[in-house]
Structure 1
Amino acid sequence: MGYKTILAVLDTPKNAQQITDFSISLAEQYQSHVIGLHAEALATVPLVAPMEIPDPSTVQALQDMAHAETLDVEKIFRERATRNGTSHEWRSFVSSAGFSASSLVDSARNVDLVIAAQGENTVLSESRAELENFLFESGRPVLLVPYILKEPKPIKRVLVAWNGSREAARATFDALPFLKAAESVEVFSVDPAETRTQSAAMAGAEIAATLARHGVNVTVVRQESDHLPASAAIENRLSDSSIDLLVMGAYSHKRWWEMLFGGVTRTVLESMTALTLLSR
């Protein structure tokens, strides 16, 4: 079992090299086919009174700039994939909807894993909102690469942020190839709640037992937050345990896609220091 088809989301020339390198590294590990995907923005110019007529030359100049960026991204992807002998293909789409475009979402729905960049802007931006919608609509696990992580490294230590939710369960099993290959996996719960089927003291034990049957070297850790946000507990654990990969569900208390990354998920993403696999 592994990720046989990987979709590399390549935003700009600035992160194209990073995401391509991480995709190639995983492709070598799992003998995967890599699809490089870029969304070329459709140039638009706001209408200005009184004439409210866009200048065609301005529109064309903006489109030319966007297309030049597409060519730069494609060159980076093709050259690195070819040099490494990686099975690959290139796809680019011109769309005013960015990563929300149906053609891009359709591409994502047919792969095992999506790889994308965290981005250096920690403030929720239009591009971040597009990425959130992309994850929600694609239904596929997304591996986010923090901007501080410039080169691929082996995924030896994994932390599963476990709260018993549907999203956490989905993320855990989507990450199974990583978990089976890791040297150690920790199921980490913060302030686990008492439920009808499981006591707080046993939180994470059942999913750990299931993972162990897959051959995963797994341990269970439960921690009281001491009135700190759960996100802070997770971040501290990532640092203290030198975690290479965080696995967690993408969820929120509200059901609108605009609020997909809520609470703990959003906070962790804004300060992420490790690779993070998210599933919805």
Structure 2
Amino acid sequence: MKSILLLLHDDDGQTARISAALALARALDGELSCLDVVEVPHLVGDYYSEAGRAMLLGDEERREHFNKDRVTEQLDREGVRYRWTDTQGDADACVAAAADLADIIVLTRETPNPLGFNFRPIVLRAALKGKPILSLPEDALDFRATGRALVAWDGSEGATNMLRACVPLLQKASAVELFTVDYRGYEIPADEAAEYLSRHGIHVTVSKQKGGDHNSDEWLRIRCATWRADYCVMGAFGDSHLRHYLFGSTTRRMLALGDLPIILGR
């Protein structure tokens, strides 16, 4: 987990993304792959569309030029290794194209607005590349990369893939818990996942919860809060499940947890 893809753009979540990426780089002795995106504006319909588009694109290019100066100055002060790529286009396509050699992708989540990025398609396209995504609230300024990690376990292929991918980060965690709800009948039981982590030097506790009065995601939110998790690792199965996972009720409610960073993927 040495290559950390960091999306850069002058939006409200950039500070949070930089802070989290720096925390990952320090914890993992990694390198930042900085992707600065100039997003091409989409206008439709009237006589002035092309002129308006050119004007908005020019404004966007100037804003990102100044943004690059600010960010590179900060990264130089921080003393981290980084490389920089300038790109132009739709942000989701740009991130997906840059993701092949990334070990983890740092993104924020926010309410879509017409003047900013819509992060849901960015997360979706990136997750379909099979990469872990650190999803942060846009005002999160203290990602504890070496803190308490709660792994949501359902025995699925997605959960297994995320567990394997996050081993280098979990090795740095101060505590790791595998939390499972309605655990009977899982293809890979949580105890076997804990044994796998132990072979990588990761001491794990396993917590099992019967479904009862709450949905799985509600139990997960409760456990993250009561166990004082610093971040949560989650997985999904395949393309169709992932689309529901990212846009459906379970993850929508999890991502609504204001200050909880979530590492997700398939």
Structure 1 range deviating more: 231-240 or 23-32: 23-32
Q: CA deviation at 1:38?
A: 2.7
Q: Distance in 1 between matches of 2:67 and 2:11?
A: 5
Question: Post-superposition shift, 1:5?
Answer: 1.2
Q: How does 1:28-107 map to 2 (within 5 A)?
A: 28-48=26-46, 53-95=47-89, 97-101=90-94, 104-107=95-98
1:24 paired residue number? 22
Closer/same/farther in 2, CA of residues 12 and 165 from structure 1, 3 Å limit: same
The 5 Å alignment of 1:97-246 reads 97-101=90-94, 104-120=95-111, 127-194=118-185, 203-246=189-232
CA distance in 2, matches of 1:59, 1:88: 32
Q: State the TM-score, normalizing by the size of structure 1.
A: 0.84
> Residue 154 of structure 1: CA displacement?
4.6
Superposition TM-score, scaled by structure 2 size: 0.88
- Measured in 1, the distance between the counterparts of 2:53 and 2:39 equals 12
**In structure 2, C-alpha distance between the alignment counterparts of 1:182 and 1:279, rounded to whole Å:** 19
**Matched pairs, number:** 263
| Runs of 5+ unmatched residues, structure 2 | none
Return the alpha-carbon distance in structure 2 between the equivalents of residues 182 and 256 of structure 1: 29
RMSD over aligned Cα, in angstroms? 2.5
Give 3-state SS (helix, strand or coil) of 1:24's partner. helix
Deviation, structure 1 residue 242: 0.8
Task: Tell me what 1:255 maps to.
Answer: 240
Segments of 4+ moved more than 3 angstroms: 53-57, 256-260
Structure 2 CA distance for aligned equivalents of residues 250 and 266 of structure 1: 14
**Unaligned residue ranges in structure 1 (runs of 5+):** none
SS of 1:143's partner is strand
Per the TM alignment, residue 162 of structure 1 is displaced from its structure 2 partner at its CA by 0.2
Query: Between the two proteins, what is the percent identity of the paired residues?
Result: 21
User: In the TM superposition, what whole-angstrom CA distance separates every residue of 1:205-237 from its partner, at most 9, and x where no partner exists?
Assistant: 111111112111101110123231211111111
Counterparts in 2 of 1:83 and 1:167: CA distance versus 1, 3 Å: same
